[in-house]
Amino acid sequence: MSMMARYWRQLNLEGRIGAVLLAMLVLMALLAPLLAPGDPLAITGEPMLRPFASEAHLLGTDRLGRDVLAGLLHGTRTTLLVAFFSAAVALIVGSIVGTLAGFLGGMADMVLMRITEAFQTVPGFLLALAAISVTGPSVPTLIFAISLGNWTQAARVTRAEVLSLRERDFVAAARTLGMRPLEIAFREILPNAFGPTASLAAISVAAAILIEAALSFLGFGDPNRVTWGSMIAEGRTVLRAAPYLSIVPGLALVITVLSVHLIGRGLSRTERLQP
């Protein structure tokens, strides 16, 4: 039985619901060029068409005449791309920092943890906002900016796990075999310490989704890509006349964060049940 199948069987109902919702969102992102071909930022119809008023524009159009459904589908690609990659970068950086701090100890531990605490004192959104202001808006800089304030929790969790593992018998055996300290840290200890850190993935992804949406809402997203945050910002100017322009991407944002949250709860329950 594969690992995915084993986790699926051990997930509770809410975890499975979250997995199905996230799978549907990923499928939407992959099929966006087929379901809504062309440029989602192109003007394709009359402005301010209401949902289901036209067969060509099922979810209506915005105040410039751009198709809302096309923006929603292509926005899924941007949101998931930024969220998953920034969460992955944050977990990798946090794991490396936490492993070095926990294994080396002493001055290295103190310096790395003071750096971690310095990053923790500043809210992640403000760090991302400052980084985007300096580097300019684009998808790679969004990923960098969001991960900049999202790695500290992974570092602290990894350090705690490494501190409990570095005196184990298998570490002493690795030293006896002549393995170098960094080789022991990253080949022997980190794989055993990564489980609790990986459980933070759901939190990191959800936080990245919200930060990306907030940055796009404020106009700091990639101007060449449609995002849910930019769609919500576009709709707020005509909120009373066309509330659907903000409600549709807002609901997509809620469903995405909810699906990740449900998966995280299901996976944490699965880990608790492991012998």
pLDDT tens for residues 187-200?
888 888 777 777 78
Token pair, residue 19, equals: 């997995």
9-66 pLDDT per residue, tens: 667 788 788 889 989 999 999 999 998 888 888 888 888 888 888 888 888 898 888 9
* pTM score, whole prediction: 0.83
Q: How many Cβ atoms from other residues are within 10 Å of residue 32's Cβ?
A: 19
Contact 156, 128 (CB under 8 A): no
Please give the average per-residue pLDDT across 200-206, as a whole number. Answer: 83
The contacts of residue 25 (CB under 8 Å, 6+ apart) are 76, 80, 255, 256, 259
Report the distance separating Cα 116 and Cα 152, nearest Å: 6
Q: How far is CA 114 from the centre of its chain?
A: 25
Token pair, residue 187, equals: 């080949």
Q: What percent of the chain has pLDDT over 90?
A: 19
Report the distance separating Cα 39 and Cα 129, nearest Å: 27
Reported for 216-225, long-range contacts at CB under 8 A and 24+ positions apart, including other chains, are 218/129, 220/129, 220/132, 220/133, 220/137, 221/78, 221/137, 221/142, 222/78, 222/137, 222/138, 222/139, 222/142, 223/137, 225/74, 225/78, 225/139
pLDDT at 1: 45
Task: Map residue 78 onto helix, strand or coil.
Answer: helix
Alpha helices in the chain (DSSP H): 3-10, 13-35, 68-104, 106-120, 124-135, 139-148, 152-165, 169-176, 181-183, 190-198, 201-217, 228-236, 244-273
Question: For the chain, how many structural domains are there in total?
Answer: 1
Query: What is the span of the domain harbouring residue 126?
Result: 3-273
Look at the block and give the residue holding tokens 């791309």: 81
Beta pairing partners, 57: 54
CATH number, domain containing residue 78: 1.10.3720.10
How deeply is 79 buried, as exposed, middle or buried, from its count of CB atoms within 10 A (0-12, 13-18, 19+)?
buried
80-137 pLDDT per residue, tens: 998 899 989 999 999 999 999 988 888 988 999 999 999 988 888 888 888 888 888 8
H or E element in which residue 41 lies: none
